[in-house]
Amino acid sequence: MNEKLLSLSQVTPGIITGAAKQYSTPFYLYDEKVIEDRCDQLKSMPNPFGLKVSFAMKANSTRAILQIIAGKGLDIDASSLNEVKRAQMAGIRPDRILLTTQEVPLSREREDLERLMKEGLKYNVCSLRQLQLIADFAAKNKIPLSMRVHPGKGSGESITRNTGDKYSCFGIHLSVIEQALEFARSKGVVFERVHVHIGSGGDPEVWRENIDLELGFTERYFPDATIINFGGGLREARMPDESRADIQALGAYAKKRIEEFHDRTGRKLTMEIEPGTYAVALSGFLVTSVMDKKDTGTGGFRFLVVDGGMETNARPLLYGSRHPFFVVSKDGRLLSGEFSPSGRRESFVVAGRCCESGDTLTLDDQHHIVERSMAEPEVDDFLVLGGCGAYCSTMTPFNYNSHTQIPEILLRKNGDLVLIRKAQDLAQMVQNEVSLT
């Protein structure tokens, strides 16, 4: 009952069964302690002249989660104006938010952006057009801007999560940077921050190369910049064979390079990072029940059908991402865990409940359905997925097959279980539809 699922987490099989009695499956369960520990680790990253850590809230935008993270002193990296407004609803002031978006501020959005910038929101221009649209306002109000530079080099766990190379269009590419800066100068716009984000789950080697590249173009192009933002992309290890970013080592490297920059130029740059994954990924569990068991005959597969598949965690389908599986019996025993090799294991494919052949939680990065090894559960036992704190609740097609968005539960540090997001109901799902009759 008391064996922890992950060594760093407080979640035990007993907590899973207790939560499932109170709130029926499927649901997300977050561990407050993991989030706080991760925030502490991030804040301890070595740096020479100050460090600001912001949380990339697209990884998890639930209000209570934002409040925990803001309470630890992290600021917010927002990907849209709505994210800025949502962070504000969680009690976070605009001057603690940096907006880095693909959106282009026009009409109503433009008014909102300008109002928020006057209240302290920092705006990271990501294209020439964004710069052209905001330049006069920024210059007139003496609001310094930030520029996201496309460094031409990136890294990610998969091609579609690489945001720095030629396949992605995030930021102002180095090939047009002189044009952008010429325009900014003509308008009297000042850049206080230089920003690069190379991609999610990036390779630490590429992270280091980008520190060098970014310091290089900061020296060459941004004489006024006082802040260097290295983006997110700090890798987390969800599975036993994955490796996590070494915050101390990456920080030590950045520190050395920023000190050398200071020796060369006399300029002291404040360092910023904006992790999403690293802050929250391991805090979240997706708790599902095994509803059915089937097989596809000789030479086929044995299937476990669970009540939360692609509509609760799209990462396997989108990226072939693997999440650790924990099989918990309905009376609260851990039958198998990804990190505890005990017990008899068999091979299963885990399918969700959507009428969609890709609705499988066991896919590889070529989109092939693959088996995973675990204890055989009985119907009504629980299959729990770890590593579901980032890009699960925020990135899934909840209403596909008319399933309703699932609730979110928080395990507080004192052991209390609290509901932080109610389940959506069917009436809410259809409330904006307009009937013909």
Ligand X SMILES: *Cc1c(COP(=O)(O)O)cnc(C)c1O
Nearest CA to 382 out of 32, 46, 5, 98 is that of 5
Strands 172-173 and 145-150: parallel
- Inter-residue contact 49 to 254 (CB < 8 Å): no
210 near ligand X, rule: CB under 6 A: no
Binding test (CB under 6 A) with ligand X, winner from 31, 32, 75, 77: 77
Nearer to ligand X, 180 or 334 (CB): 180
65 near ligand X, rule: CB under 6 A: no
Choices 81-89, 241-249, 268-276, 294-302; region in contact with ligand X by CB under 6 A: 268-276
Binding test (CB under 6 A) with ligand X, winner from 48, 94, 275, 308: 275
59 near ligand X, rule: CB under 6 A: yes
- Inter-residue contact 156 to 111 (CB < 8 Å): no
Q: In the complex, what is the shortest distance from the CB of residue 273 to ligand X, in angstroms, rounded to a whole number?
A: 8
127 near ligand X, rule: CB under 6 A: no
Choices 37-45, 56-64, 243-251, 318-326; region in contact with ligand X by CB under 6 A: 56-64
372 near ligand X, rule: CB under 6 A: no
60 near ligand X, rule: CB under 6 A: no
Those residues whose C-beta lies under 8 Å from the C-beta of residue 299, and which sit 6 or more positions away, are none
Give dist(CA 154, CA 376) in Å, integer.
Answer: 41
Binding test (CB under 6 A) with ligand X, winner from 51, 56, 287, 374: 56
Nearer to ligand X, 246 or 378 (CB): 246
- Residues numbered 385 to 404 that lie near ligand X (CB under 6 A) are 390
Give dist(CA 413, CA 220) in Å, integer.
Answer: 47
286 near ligand X, rule: CB under 6 A: no
Q: How many residues bind ligand X (CB under 6 A)?
A: 19
274 near ligand X, rule: CB under 6 A: yes
276 near ligand X, rule: CB under 6 A: yes
Nearer to ligand X, 26 or 154 (CB): 154
31 near ligand X, rule: CB under 6 A: no
245 near ligand X, rule: CB under 6 A: no
Strands 408-411 and 417-421: antiparallel
Binding mask 184-203 for ligand X (x = CB under 6 A): -------------x--xx--
170 Rama sector, left if φ>0, alpha if ψ -120 to 50, beta otherwise: beta
Q: In the complex, what is the shortest distance from the CB of residue 197 to ligand X, in angstroms, rounded to a whole number?
A: 4
Q: In the complex, what is the shortest distance from the CB of residue 146 to ligand X, in angstroms, rounded to a whole number?
A: 11
Q: In the complex, what is the shortest distance from the CB of residue 236 to ligand X, in angstroms, rounded to a whole number?
A: 8
Give dist(CA 137, CA 145) in Å, integer.
Answer: 11
What secondary structure does DSSP assign to 117-186, as a single string?
HHTT-EEEE-SHHHHHHHHHHHHHTT--EEEEEE-S----SSGGGB-SSTT---SEEGGGHHHHHHHHHH
79 near ligand X, rule: CB under 6 A: yes
Binding test (CB under 6 A) with ligand X, winner from 234, 334, 374, 392: 234
Place of tokens 């520029």: 147
- Amino acid of residue 110: R
- Inter-residue contact 148 to 182 (CB < 8 Å): no
CA atoms lying within 13 Å on the CB side of residue 228: 29
- Helix, strand, coil percentages (3-state) for the chain, rounded to 5, are 35, 20, 45
Choices 4-12, 232-240, 315-323, 395-403; region in contact with ligand X by CB under 6 A: 232-240
147 Rama sector, left if φ>0, alpha if ψ -120 to 50, beta otherwise: beta
154 near ligand X, rule: CB under 6 A: no
- Inter-residue contact 297 to 77 (CB < 8 Å): no
101 near ligand X, rule: CB under 6 A: no
231 near ligand X, rule: CB under 6 A: yes
Helix (H, G, I), strand (E, B) or coil at 162: strand
- Amino acid of residue 44: S
360 near ligand X, rule: CB under 6 A: no
- Which segments within 60-189 are labelled E, that is strand? 75-78, 97-100, 122-125, 145-150, 172-173
Q: Which residues bind ligand X (CB under 6 A)?
A: 56, 58-59, 77, 79, 100, 197, 200-201, 231-234, 274-278, 390
